[in-house]
Structure 1
Amino acid sequence: MAFKSFLSFCIVAISARIVSADDGDLGSRAIDWNDHQWIAPGPNDLRGPCPGLNTLANHGFLPRDGRNLNMSVILDAGFNGYHMQPDGLALAVKAATFTTDDPLTFTLDDIKLHGTIEHDASLSRNDFALGDNVHFNETIFTTLADSNPGVDYYNTTSAGQVQQKRLADAEIANPNITNTVKEFTIRSRESAFYLSVMGNPLTGVAPKKFVQIFFREERLPIAEGWRRSDTPINGSTLGPLSDAIAEQSHWTTSGGCPWIRAGPESPTTLVQHG
């Protein structure tokens, strides 16, 4: 698909411009987990629709108030918290910068802007057109939580089936759904992400209890036995998982063109671009 080819190009181009230390040194960096205890966000702390970033903020890898985020801040947090290398996050962070008029930083709340990186048919949030697209929704998450019955893990097959079911449900509930190759690619990558950070980034097998805590509590399940991956998570590991998930999802477009943010005069100005 043309968009997937463009996405791959962007990931390579962006990550090639990021200067970082040798991963052999970074990979052995000791994390003092006493400095990263989970703390629930306070009333003035900002959170968004991404459980992965919210979790990093709840553990203090990102600013706990959810503010003053930029490329370097998030790439450092993603590495320290998840052992994710720059090419696994850089394009998503680049897209997130388009959700605000601030030229230097953005907040976790900014990411809720519909159609830039936030999308319909989420695994844990309502569609924008149907109400609250920011906070965790247990009813929606049940599709994932109840998947792959009879075993105690999720994998790429179950992840693809969940994507297919969530899209089918969203198409019924939301006549204004945006479902193009852009959203499909983001959804598949996100599914590969949760399997990787909560499980084995090479096999895409993740314990159900870890994944459920991650989504429901936006917490790293350290007390339950989770450990930061020894294997670096990057484009080379995420790509095969994302492709396998996409194949199992049997995706078809709902029509339309990708939504993009347009116009500095309003952070909610959206146009269809095709």
Structure 2
Amino acid sequence: MLFNVSQFVFTLGALTQVARAYDNHEWKAPTADQVRSPCPGLNTLANHGYLPRSGRGITIPDIIDGAVAGFNVGNDSILQAAKFGLLSGSSLTTMDLDALALHNLVEHDASISRQDWALGDNLHFNETLFSALANSNPGSDFYTPTSAGEVQKIRLDDSIARNPNVTNTNKEFKLRSRESALYLSIFGNITTGVAPKKFVNIFFREERLPIEEGWKRSETQITAETMNAMSVTIHAASNWTASQACEPLVIGPGVVL
């Protein structure tokens, strides 16, 4: 059998075009059979095809590669949370996005955009709760580390007032503060944390990269180190104190961490 070079080149070219068409990262709303998480960042990556659009069978390398490609966020910023995500299901190597709604794993109370688990739907975006962020830093078109910390306090005060089972340990505080530093870094200045409100609002409300509105992926990689200074400001503005010590993590019958 003779090897047909021209046919091979044509086939390879066709496959490459199909791959490029699949990975053009156009935003697409999830379909009814696709699942999403309580995290707008992971959902946005899936909606743009940086993660499997199905939201299923996602690996830690998928998350690491997707975060770099979509946001230019380095793995030291998300690796720990990604590893914990594996505990949400029975697979040793993959996770489904909707399983991340498991309470107190990476999901937490006093979220900027999700209801507390004890109070209702902790999976889907909640506009009423998001208004704490949307109405913050009035008179300005930007969010800042100070306003982000103030929003964290507003949301926690609300959870404490309405949720008798609120979980408020150092773990939750660090998760919430890291999330605030991330959205400010991704959509704003990675040094100052000043971020246009229109970019951040689109991200939370539509789980979409605001490319059409002028946003561009940071040329400098976002890391734990780049977020250190703004984290200090966020922490101070949060005026946070713990309500209880860290609780053990129950991951199955008789298995406690």
Q: Is the pair's TM-score, using the shorter chain for normalization, greater than 0.5? A: yes
Match of 1:55 among 44, 47, 67: 44
- Are the structure 2 counterparts of residues 46 and 110 from structure 1 closer, same or farther at C-alpha, using a change threshold of 3 Å? same
Correspondent of 1:139 among 124, 128, 135: 128
The separation in 1 between residues aligned to 2:251 and 2:57, in whole angstroms, is: 22
Structure 2: distance between partners of 1:262 and 1:58: 29
What's the Cα RMSD here? 1.9
Asked whether the 8 Å contact 1:213–1:220 carries over to 2, the reply is yes
Amino acid at match of 2:112: L
Task: String of CA shifts for 1:157-205, please: whole Å, max 9, x gaps.
Answer: 0000000111001100101000000000000000001101111111101
CA distance in 2, matches of 1:175, 1:81: 38
1:198-239, Cα deviation, whole Å (9 max, x unpaired)? 111111010000000000000000000000011110111122
Aligned to 1:3: none
Kept in 2, the 8 Å contact 1:88–1:238? The answer is no
Match of 2:236 in 1: 247
> In structure 2, do the counterparts of structure 1 residues 253 and 102 end up closer, same or farther at CA, with 3 Å as the change threshold?
same
After the TM superposition, which of the residue ranges 44-53 and 252-261 deviates more from structure 2? 252-261
Aligned positions of 1:92-111 closer than 5 A: 92-111=81-100
1:243, distance to aligned residue in structure 2 (A): 2.4
Do the aligned residues in 1 keep the contact of 2:170 with 2:245 (CA within 8 Å)? no
Distance 1:122 1:48 in 2: 13
The 5-angstrom pairing of residues 28-67 of structure 1 reads 35-67=24-56
Tell me what 1:88 maps to: 77
Question: 1:36·1:59 contact (CA, 8 Å) conserved in 2?
Answer: yes
Classify the secondary structure of the residue corresponding to 2:138.
Answer: coil
1:256 deviates by 4.4
For the pair 1:166 / 2:155, whether they are aligned, the reply is yes
Which one-letter code corresponds to 1:143 in the other structure?
A: A
Question: Highest Rg: 1 or 2?
Answer: 2
Structure 1 residue 122 and structure 2 residue 114: aligned? no
Moved >3 Å (runs of 4+): 31-34
| TM-score, with length taken from structure 2 | 0.88
SS of aligned partner of 2:249: strand
1:118-175 alpha-carbon deviations (Å, 9 max, x no partner): 0000000000000100000000000000000011000100000000111001100101
Structure 1 residues 33, 69: closer, same or farther in 2, change over 3 A?
closer
Question: Structure 1 residues 223, 206: CA separation in 2 closer, same or farther (over 3 Å shift)?
Answer: same
The unaligned stretches of length 5 or more in structure 1 are 1-30
Code of the aligned partner of 1:60: G
- Unaligned stretches of 5+ residues in structure 2: 1-19
- Structure 1 position 79 matched with structure 2 position 68: yes
- Which of residues 217, 236, 249 is equivalent to 1:228? 217
What is the match of residue 176 of structure 1? 165
**Do the aligned partners of 1:115 and 1:258 also contact (CA within 8 Å) in 2?**
no
Q: In structure 1, how many angstroms separate the alpha carbons of the residues matched to 2:22 and 2:214?
A: 14
Q: Tell me how far 1:257 sits from its aligned partner.
A: 2.9
Contact 1:98 1:261 in 2 (8 A): no
- Does 2:202 correspond to 1:209? no
Letter in 1 for 2:154: K
CA distance in 2, matches of 1:261, 1:54: 26
Shift of 1:68: 1.2
